[in-house]
Amino acid sequence: MIPNSEIKEGDQTDGSLAYPDFTDTEIAFQNKTNRELKETYRLFKLMNNNLLVDTGSLLSKIALRLRLPFVETVMKHTIFKQFCGGENLMDCQSVIDHLYSHNTLAILDYGAESKSAEEDLNDAAKELVKAIDFAASNNSVPVVSCKLTALVENNQLIKKQNKHPLTAHEKKRYKAFLKRINKACARAHKLGVGVFIDAEESWMQDAMDDVVRDLMKKYNRDRVIVYNTYQMYRHDKLEQLRADYFMAHSEGYKLGAKLVRGAYMEKERERAKDLGYPSPIQPDKASTDRDYNEGLKFCLDRYEEIGFCNATHNLESVKLMVDEIIAKDIPRDHRHVNFCQLQGMSDYITFNLSEAGFNTAKYVVYGPVKDVIEYLIRRAEENTAVTGEMSRELKLITTEKKRRGI
Ligand X SMILES: Cc1cc2nc3c(=O)[nH]c(=O)nc-3n(C[C@H](O)[C@H](O)[C@H](O)COP(=O)(O)OP(=O)(O)OC[C@H]3O[C@@H](n4cnc5c(N)ncnc54)[C@H](O)[C@@H]3O)c2cc1C
Count, in order, helices (H) and strands (E) of the chain.
Answer: 17, 9
Candidate ranges 63-71, 214-222, 255-263, 349-357; the one touching ligand X (CB under 6 A): 255-263
Candidate ranges 59-67, 69-77, 136-144, 229-237; the one touching ligand X (CB under 6 A): 229-237
Burial group, residue 13, by CB count within 10 angstroms (0-12, 13-18, 19+): exposed
Question: Within 10 A of 141 (CB to CB), how many other CB atoms are there?
Answer: 28
Among the listed residues 60, 220, 288, 383, the single contact to ligand X using CB under 6 A:
288
Among the listed residues 230, 363, 366, 375, the single contact to ligand X using CB under 6 A:
363
Among the listed residues 265, 272, 330, 385, the single contact to ligand X using CB under 6 A:
265
The minimum distance between CB 362 and ligand X, in angstroms, equals 8
Instruction: Round to whole Å and give the CA distance between 246 and 251.
Output: 8
Quick check: 231 binds ligand X (CB under 6 A)? yes
Instruction: Round to whole Å and give the CA distance between 349 and 23.
Output: 9
For ligand X, the closer of residues 71 and 237 by Cβ is 237
Determine the angle formed by the axes of helices 373-382 and 50-65, rounding to 10 degrees.
180
Quick check: 350 binds ligand X (CB under 6 A)? no
Quick check: 379 binds ligand X (CB under 6 A)? no
> Under a CB-based contact definition with an 8 Å cutoff, are residues 20 and 323 in contact?
no
Quick check: 328 binds ligand X (CB under 6 A)? no
Burial group, residue 32, by CB count within 10 angstroms (0-12, 13-18, 19+): middle
> Under a CB-based contact definition with an 8 Å cutoff, are residues 70 and 77 in contact?
no
Quick check: 285 binds ligand X (CB under 6 A)? yes
For ligand X, the closer of residues 28 and 71 by Cβ is 28
Candidate ranges 58-66, 172-180, 211-219, 282-290; the one touching ligand X (CB under 6 A): 282-290
E-assigned strand segments in 199-244: 226-231
For ligand X, the closer of residues 52 and 263 by Cβ is 263
Instruction: Round to whole Å and give the CA distance between 235 and 290.
Output: 11
Residue nearest to ligand X as judged by C-beta position: 198
- Residue ranges that bind ligand X, judged by CB under 6 A: 198-199, 229, 231, 233, 260-265, 281-282, 284-285, 288, 311-314, 340-342, 363
